[in-house]
Amino acid sequence: MSSIVLAGARVAQIHEEDKPEMFYLGLDVHGKWTTVKGLNPSTGEIVQWLRVANSAEAFAQVLSELEGPFCGAMEAGTNSWAMYRVLLPLFKELVVVHPAQVHDRRDGKPKTDARDAMRLAEQLCWGQLRGIYIPDERIQDLRMLVRGKVRATRWVTKLTNEMGSLLRAWGYVGSRSLLSKRGVARLEEAELPPHSARVLALTRQLWELAQRIERELEQAVAEEAAADEQCQLLLSMPEVGPFTALLVRAEVGDIDRFQSGEQLASYAGLTPRVLQSGERCHYGKLTKRGNRWMRYALLLLANRIARGRGNSRLHRLYRRSCLRQHSNDAKVAVARKALILACHLLRRRERWEEHQKHVRAQQAA
């Protein structure tokens, strides 16, 4: 369904003489269809289409009713990258924005697909929207690989905990993890009632399948990391393995879009909240509003550094930080510093090297 009407006073308020002749369209994208609504500030026209099929042909037919060019905005979502590539040839400019830029649930206003689309169009017309990074198909494919590895590991952990909980319910309490050889022996020796035994056997089948999937994805991650030049730079850092290197490589994408390591740390959600007024400045907990996958990998790296006995720059930072704050806060500091250093390595195309004075001290010892 389509409709084209003249706008009222609301569009007249946003009319600007310096705006070019262009339709600004907001796209509220869902899995099967998209709601399109927008305006032309030069002529005062408002357009709307409800439930346009998510295909290039359907959008081409709809937009053929108007004279372009078109400038569009859509929110980031599950299928936003695919829809962006489908619709880009039809638009002079098309941006994908973070939902937090558009919505404020505290305003109490009704929320519909048409309202969301119009809000996108208006904010795009006013110049209030900033597009986010669009990964190419290779980077998106690498992201799916490393995220799939994370999910497979979580499946293994969840199923391990399920089997352990079932065994404890029947009095089988052990100090060994079920992932160890002694833990597997506990599964073989357990004598349970018939229904509980069947549940344990079926859960174990899922557990073994999840382990095979995890190993297969881990092998694929190692192969991709070995063939990628930027991953090789990251692998030169202490305690960094193929998974961490490839995840950072995939989630960062183009490193040149970050002007500094601090910006990259903020993107990963590893920077503290800041409350500043006058001469007072308070730093709180982590914002956790950034890339959760990168934050997960960097905190795992910090845990390995905390357990390690090396003498690298990051190991020394952890030991110094533990003297004045909790070990968890020290790990966060190490994760943030590791990401900042990784940014420097990628931007400069250099491998990790310890400071010369520390190298000489180690050699003398």
Across the range 278-291, mean pLDDT stands at 79
* Distant-in-sequence, close-in-space partners of 327: CB < 8 Å, separation ≥ 6: 306
Per-residue confidence at 53, pLDDT binned at 50, 70, 90? very high
Q: Is the pLDDT of residue 315 over 80?
A: yes
pLDDT at 208 (0 to 100):
94
What is the fold of 2-126? Nucleotidyltransferase; domain 5 (3.30.420)
CA–CA dist 324, 95 (Å, integer): 45
Centre a 10 Å sphere on the Cβ of residue 315 and count the other Cβ atoms it contains: 17
Which sign, positive or negative, has the C-alpha torsion 272, 277, 282, 284?
Answer: negative
Per-residue confidence at 358, pLDDT binned at 50, 70, 90? very low
Nearest to 240 by CA among 325, 297, 164, 296: 297
CA–CA dist 86, 80 (Å, integer): 10
Helical H runs in the chain? 9-13, 56-63, 80-87, 113-126, 137-169, 181-189, 194-227, 229-235, 242-252, 261-267, 292-307, 313-322, 327-348, 356-364
Q: Is the pLDDT of residue 290 over 80?
A: yes
Whether residue 33 contacts residue 56, with contact meaning beta carbons closer than 8 Å, is answered with no
Higher pLDDT, 129 or 358: 129
**Within a 13 Å sphere around the CA of 184, how many CA atoms are in the beta-carbon half?**
6
Fill in the DSSP letter of residue 76: -
Per-residue confidence at 108, pLDDT binned at 50, 70, 90? low
Q: Is the pLDDT of residue 319 over 80?
A: yes
Whether residue 318 contacts residue 302, with contact meaning beta carbons closer than 8 Å, is answered with yes
pLDDT at 188 (0 to 100):
80
Across the range 168-174, mean pLDDT stands at 81
pLDDT at 182 (0 to 100):
79
pLDDT at 155 (0 to 100):
96
Percent of the residues in the chain that have a pLDDT greater than 90, as a whole number? 57
CA–CA dist 37, 256 (Å, integer): 34
Structure tokens that stand for 305 in this block: 């550094």
Beta bridge partners of 28: 35
Can you give the pTM of this predicted structure?
Answer: 0.83
Structure tokens that stand for 285 in this block: 């907990």
Whether residue 332 contacts residue 302, with contact meaning beta carbons closer than 8 Å, is answered with yes
